[in-house]
Amino acid sequence: MNYSEVEASILRLVTEATEDSARAFAERTVTRLVRPELLRAAEDELTEDARTALTTGCANVLMMSAAELHDLLVTIDGGILADDGLDTGVLTAVTALEHWKNYLEQNRRGELCELAVRSIEDIDHEVSASLDDFLATPEMAAEYARIRRLLAPGPVCSRPTSPADDPDPASEGTRTGPPRTVTESVTPTVTHLSPGP
């Protein structure tokens, strides 16, 4: 499958998912996208108050209200020190919090698509997938399978119920070389991947 086909498939899955499946997917995906290892560069890129807000939001993402997340995101946005864009890991976590907040506020399926794209981009940062054969790498194929499994119709209880049962594709790959940097704003609207280097 090429990237466009994967994207279309995810959109269809999100559209057809039951409310329970959509919620389960959102919770598992946002949790994956705010994992602590993504925040390593925050010390050099955010003020102390912004780092505290980001760490708090990531650690308590499923327990906080949309209003609480909004306040934290305002603090983060006002405490950015980097002039040339946030580190990829930090930006991934911040945008995941933003999409989760919006989902809590509006229950819009579009925010689930955004979370899926951010999750795919996170894997792409590890493996630089080919847009023409997007699922060629084991890591990307595993992430696509995870998305399909969580969004496919059926009772949530039939799906993995613990992190050990829901393997994280990001843990299967090894990051090599320095982290990429990005120049997007804290809440980018771009939903398409760019070709890998």
- The pLDDT, as a whole number, for residue 84 is 81
Give residues with Cβ within 8 angstroms of 117, minimum separation 6.
Answer: 7, 10, 191, 192, 193
pLDDT number for residue 153: 57
Rg for the chain, CA atoms, rounded = 16
Give the integer Cα–Cα distance in Å for 127 and 176: 9
Calculate mean pLDDT across residues 122-144.
93
Structure tokens at 166: 């829901």
User: What are 139-170's pLDDT values in tens digits?
Assistant: 999 999 999 999 985 554 334 333 334 444 44
Are the C-beta atoms of 79 and 53 separated by less than 8 Å?
Answer: yes
Instruction: Indicate the average pLDDT of the chain.
Output: 82
Tokens of 159: 């799906």
Q: Is residue 133 predicted with pLDDT exceeding 90?
A: yes
Q: How confident is the model at residue 108 (pLDDT cuts 50, 70, 90)?
A: very high
Q: What angle (nearest 5°) sits at the alpha carbon of residue 55, between those of residues 52 and 59?
A: 140
CA 157 to chain centre: 23
